[in-house]
Chains A and B, each alone.
Chain A
Amino acid sequence: MSSRERILGRVRRALADVPQDDTSYEQAVPREYLREHGDRSVEQTVDLLAENLADYRALVHRTDAEELPNLIMRLLAQRGSQSVLVPPELPPEWMSAAGPTRVHDRAASTPHELDKVESVITGCAIAIAETGTIVLDGSPDQGRRRITLVPDHHICVVRVPDQVVSSVPQALERLDPTRPLTWISGPSATSDIELDRVEGVHGPRTLEVVLVSGRASAEENA
C-alpha cells in the first residue's frame, strides 16, 4: 500500500464517528465577520493606507502623475543609487527624469548580480489600507519576485485610489491565486530578540511607497 493510500485510509477511519453531513461548504461556515472595518470615504481609505504604511516604517510619499518622475529621481538621488532594477513593463515615464543605470529584470541574472544593484522600482497589484500592505503579483510592471527582495531599497508606486482596497477580504477578491504573490507590510523586520520589533533584516531595509494620484490612472482607464 502506498503512503498516500495509507494516510487517506487512516483519515477515513479516524472520522468514522463523524456523522455524514451534506451541508455545502458555504453553509457550513458562518462568515459573520466584517468585509471591512469602519465606514470611510475613498480619501480616508487612502489616508489610512498612508498612516498604516508609515506605522510599520515604510517611507510614504504622495504625489500626482505629473510630479512622479521628479519624485522618483529625487528619491534615487537621495539614496545615492548608481543602479536601479526595473521590471519589463514599468511605465517609461516614471523613470524619465532619473539618472541611475537601469538594470533589466532578466531570468538569466544570478542572485549575486542582483545583489550589486542598489535600488528597485515597481508598481503593485493592490494595496490594503487597514493593514498597510502592498501586494505584488509578478505582473510586467512588477517583475520577478526576487527583484524586490535582493536590493536593499524598494520604491513601490501605488495608484490611488484605484489600486487601494480597505481590507484583507477585499484584497483576496481582487487577487489571482495562480500568480506568485508577495504581500509586503513595511520593510523587513524581526521580533526575534526579546520579542521586540526591529526593522531591517534580509529583505529591503528601506521601503518607499509612492501614492500617486491623478492623470496616470485616468489615462490607463481610457
Chain B
Amino acid sequence: MSGTFVGMPAFPVAAHDAVRNETLRGNLRHATHTIRAKRAKAVAEVSDWAELREAGKRIKDHTLFHLDRYLVQLEEAVTAAGGTVHWAADADEANRIVVQLVKETGESEVVKVKSMATQEIGLNEALEEEGIRAYETDLAELIVQLGKDRPSHILVPAIHRNRGEIREIFTREMSEWGRPAPEGLTDTPAELAEAARLHLREKFLRAKVGVSGANFMIAETGTLVVVESEGNGRMCLTLPETLISVVGIEKILPTWRDLEVFLQTLPRSSTAERMNPYTSMWTGTTDEDGPQNFHLVLLDNGRTDTLADEVGRQALRCIRCSACLNVCPVYERAGGHAYGSVYPGPIGAILSPQLRGTASEIDASLPYASSLCGACYEVCPVAIDIPEVLVHLRERIVEGGQVTREGNKVILKPAKGHAAERAAMRAARWAFGRPGALRTGQRLASRTRRFHPRTLPGPGRAWSESRDLPTLPAEPFRDWWQRTQGGNTDKGAAK
C-alpha cells in the first residue's frame, strides 16, 4: 500500500526539509528544467496557441456553467452505448461502488491505468481492505507503489526519484509483487523500462478487471478518452472483461469536435510532444472487442463545492497537464510531497483547499505556497489564473466567509493563526490612510537607524535568517522632496 497524505504538516514545515535534500533538489531541477525547454519548443511550433488556449478555456467554462445538462446527456449516451453509469457524491461512495463491482466479478485483483481521481479517493487502499489487490501499471506509479512512496507530480508521480533510486527499488521490491527484476539490472532508462515491461506483462495478460480514469468524456456521444504513452493504458482498457472508469464530473466536453482543441493542447503541455504515443477512445462497449462490461463512476467529491465559488471554480477547467508544476519555482524547490495531496504544485495549491476545505493545517497553508510569480498562469493551456485563485483563497482564510461544503452553505470564521497578521495589516492600513502618521513612523525609523540590528528576533527571523536587512536611509524621500522643493535646491542628501 502506498503512503497516504493524512496528517500532513503545513507546507512551510514540509518544505523545510525538502529544500535541504540535495538529491531531491537535484532530481527536481533536472527533470523540470528538461521538460520546461521542451514544452516551450512544442508550444512555439503551433502558431495559434493563444486561440487554442482561449477556445479551451471557453469550452470548459461553458461546460461548467451547464454541467447538469451535460452530465445527464453523458449518462444517456453511455447507457445507450452499453455502459452503466454510477454516481458518487464522495470518496467513500465511489470506493464502495468500485469494490462492489469488482466483487461481482469474483476477482481479487485489478490492473490500473494511472488515474488522479482514483488516487484522490484512495481507491487502492479501499480495495486492499476488501482483499482486492490493485496493480498500478504506469511506470512512475509502479515506482511509487513498489517504493511504498507517495506521488509527487501529476504526470510523473516518481519525478522525485532518479534512475539510480529506481533501479534500487525495482531490484529490491519487484519479487514481492510478482516477476523479479532481471539479474544485473542497470540504471539505464531503457533497461528500467524493460524491467517494468516484463514485470507487468503477466499481470496484463491474466487481468479480468481494469480500472481507469479518463482525460475527457464527450457528452453528445458518450465517448471516453484516455491519453497515455506506455501502452499500459491500452492494456487495461482492452484486455480485461470488465472495465471500471472513475472520472470527475468536470471532465466532460460537450461535443466530439471539442477534442480538436484539447488533443492539441494537452500533449504539448504535458509531455511536450506533438502527440502522445497512445490515445484510446471508447463509447460504451463494442461487440467482441475489448471489455464487455463497462461501468462509469461519476465522481463529485468536492467538485460541486468548488463549482459554487465564483472565483475558485476556474480550477475545474484543469486538464491535469502539469505544465504549471514544471515551471513553478516553489514546486521545484519544495517538491511535490510538501503539498500533502495527490495534486501538488500550483494547481494543487488551489485545488486541494477547495476539494477538501481549509480545515486542516496543510490545506490552510497551501494558498500561501506561492510567490505569485505568475509562471503557472502563463503556461496553463486553459488559462486558469492560479495567482488570482490563490489570493482569493488567502482572503477566505483570513477573512472567513461563506463557502459550500458537501453541498451546504456554511460560514467560515477567520482563521485563528492569523490574528497578529490581521492586526498588523489593519494598523498599516490605518497609517497608510494618514500620510502624517506614515511620515512620523518613517522619521522615527530613520532617526533611530543606528540602533537597528541587521537581524531580527521573533517572526522577523524568517527574513533575517537568510537575508540581511536593508539599511535605513538618513531621511525618507518625502522629507528630501520637501526640504529641497522637489530637488530644486538639493545640496545633497541629509547625512
* Chain A residues within 8 Å of B, Cβ to Cβ: 2-4, 6-15, 17-18, 21, 25, 28-34, 37, 52, 56, 107, 111-112, 115, 128, 130-133, 138, 144-146, 149-150, 168-169, 172-173, 177-198, 200-204
Contacts and interface: CB of A to CB of B under 8 A. Distances in A.
Interface string B155-197: 1101100110010000000000000000000000110111011
B389 interface: no
A25 B62 contact: yes
A172 to B, nearest CB: 5
A18 B286 CA distance: 39
B375 interface: no
A30 B58 CA distance: 8
Given A7-B300, A56-B274, A195-B32, 16 more contacts: A3-B300, A7-B89, A13-B308, A33-B261, A56-B273, A131-B275, A144-B289, A150-B239, A193-B193, A194-B31, A194-B163, A194-B189, A195-B34, A195-B159, A202-B200, A203-B231
Interface stretch (B43-51, B390-398, B410-418, B433-441): B43-51
B62 A184 contact: no
Interface in B14-33: 27, 30-32
A207 to B, nearest CB: 9
6 nearest CB pairs, A to B: A203-B231, A202-B231, A14-B308, A10-B304, A131-B275, A201-B230
Contact of A193 (B138, B166, B200, B283): B166
Contacts of B162: 194
B292 to A, nearest CB: 10
The binding surface of chain B is classed by DSSP as helix
B1 to A, nearest CB: 21
Contacts of B35: 191, 195
Interface in B398-432: 404, 407
Contacts of B65: 15, 18, 21
Contacts of A7: 71, 87, 89, 249, 298, 300, 304
Contacts of A180: 280-283, 286, 289-290
A200 B286 contact: no
A181 B281 contact: yes
A149 B231 contact: yes
B100 interface: no
B58 A17 contact: no
Contacts of A11: 67-68, 71, 249, 304, 307
16 contacts: A4-B87, A11-B304, A17-B310, A25-B255, A31-B55, A37-B48, A115-B205, A146-B290, A172-B263, A182-B281, A191-B35, A191-B271, A195-B31, A201-B193, A201-B229, A202-B204
A28 B63 CA distance: 10
Nearest to B200: A202
B43 to A, nearest CB: 13
Contacts of B194: 200
A221 to B, nearest CB: 27
Interface string B226-264: 000111101101110000000001000011110111011
B260 A191 contact: no
A15 to B, nearest CB: 6
Contacts of A21: 65
B88 interface: yes
Nearest to B231: A203
A32 B55 contact: yes
A201 B139 contact: yes
Nearest to B54: A30
Given A2-B87, A193-B139, A169 B260 contact: yes
A33 B51 contact: yes
Nearest to A2: B87
